[in-house]
Amino acid sequence: MGERRDAGLSELPAVHQLAAALDAPHALAVVAARRAIEERRGAIWAGADANGNIIDIARAHLAALAQPSLRRVLNATGVIVHTNLGRSPLPLAARDAVARVAEGYSNLEYELGSGARGSRHAHVEDLLCELTGAQAATVVNNGAAAVLLGAAALAGPGRAIAVSRGQLIEIGGGFRIPEVIAQSGSELVEVGTTNRTRDRDYERAVAAPESRVVAILRVHQSNFRTVGFVQDVSIEALCSLGVPVIDDVGSGVLASADAIDWFGDEPGLTRSVAAGAAIVCCSGDKLLGGPQAGLMIGRREAIDAARRHPLARALRIDKLSLAALQATLMLYRDPLRARREIPVLAMLECSEQELAARAARMQAAIGPSAEVIRTVAKVGGGALPLLELAGPAVALSAADDPAAVARALRAADPPVIARIHDGRVVLDPRTLAEADVDLAATAVRQVLACR
């Protein structure tokens, strides 16, 4: 065994020799050659059969290196706001806006009328104020940044922020509210209990002798719910306590809850603004349906304080995200158009008939290995965790190895991301755009044909 291994290792070519056999720029050929040699060396040490010409292996690595790692995928999981898949897909208007701005230079921070320097926030501030009733608005690069900047601007070193113990949450990626407050330089004052917090808990924290509480942070329980013997304090009551309130509403519901029944108890931006919150924070790429962004709207003095804070520049939004956000917000001027053209809203409201038609078309295109079943889709992204969206989906035959089929679908072009349920690969048409249904079915058919 040792002799065979040593012989295999001795036959490996030098990196420069293998790279010279590849038709590619030298630096790229060297990377591909090294990877091919490491792959073959690993196989030899593992005692596996070293099959395949090493030049062909290097060429395969070279082809992989030529492909960008960040790619478009087809989401057939049934999770609408899928964090691992980039959260909300952008509406067409936003994609077009990004393309226009990316084409060359832009007036990102330039006043075309006066020829003077302008502010990047001007492109969305008036829109946000128009849509929410806020006095002022600014935008940073994500929702977590909005909370951090709000806490730093309204409190900071030597000052404290009061938070209910029931809202000291952790969301995806280890983002914890106590740590955010610590990073802002502020002291955390916990009030109430895990399940019950009352008005007087906040009042005592604010009025206590030598209290350093200068702000209250209210945090929406985005990815879980407490039920049973629970109590919290409304945003209206918090805003009456005499200190600024930072309201992290999470998902950014801007569409009318009356119009879209699914929103349930998900807090909306307009209610918090009307209540008098100093700063209302949310993500742009969840239920708002836009790009990654952190929206901050509210009272003028509080938003101005956030803009002046040194962190504001470190957390600022880029021009492409800003273009996409502006285009998405403009759709909300016409609520019916927003519900039709913003993919997240359209997926939430997709009718049973439309879903059934997509599922039937996919099943017919795949063939006898597929059948239409009932399944449940989820909103995802830390929004509406209890909501289950029942509807039809396509399940593949249990005779095929589901893990192998799912893996092969991920290797398709474009990759198809499905889920495995009850031992079968399931594709949910709710999260597939109309044009993507046929692409997904073709990928499945090709994968099954190769098995």
Contact 392, 359 (CB under 8 A): yes
pLDDT of 172 strictly over 70: no
Predicted pLDDT of residue 383: 81
Closest CA to 81 of 259, 262, 247: 262
The helix (H) or strand (E) run that includes residue 294 is strand 294-298
What is the per-residue pLDDT for 224?
A: 74
Lowest mean pLDDT of 47-56, 328-337, 383-392, name the range. 47-56
pLDDT tens profile 88-125? 999 999 999 999 999 999 999 999 999 999 999 999 99
Looking at the predicted structure, is the pLDDT value of residue 259 above 60? no
Query: Is-cis flag, bond preceding 414, omega within 30?
Result: yes
At residue 178, does pLDDT exceed 80? yes
Query: pLDDT tens for residues 403-445?
Result: 999 999 999 999 999 999 999 999 999 999 998 999 999 999 9
Once rounded to an integer, what is the mean pLDDT over residues 4-27? 87
Q: Say yes or no to pLDDT of 451 above 80.
A: no
Mean pLDDT of 346-363: 95
Read off the pLDDT of each residue in 41-50 and give the average, rounded to a whole number: 79
- Confidence (pTM): 0.92
How confident is the model over 378-404, as pLDDT tens digits?
A: 998 878 887 889 999 999 987 778 999
CA 123 distance to own-chain centroid:
23
Predicted local confidence at residue 23, as pLDDT: 92
- CA 73 centroid distance within chain: 14
pLDDT digits (tens, 9 = 90+) for 181-218: 999 999 999 999 989 999 999 999 998 888 899 999 99
Contact 134, 124 (CB under 8 A): no
- Is the per-residue pLDDT at 51 higher than 70? no
Of 57-66, 151-160, 272-281, which range is least confident? 57-66
Higher pLDDT, 243 or 381: 243
pLDDT interval class at 11 (50, 70, 90): confident
Note the pLDDT of residue 258: 56
Q: What pLDDT band is residue 238 in, cutting at 50, 70 and 90?
A: very high
157, with CB counted inside 10 A (0-12, 13-18, 19+), is exposed
CA quadruple 252, 256, 261, 265: dihedral, nearest 10: 50
For residue 9, name the pLDDT band (cuts at 50, 70, 90).
Answer: confident
| Average pLDDT of the residues of the chain | 92
* pLDDT-derived band at 257, boundaries 50, 70, 90: low
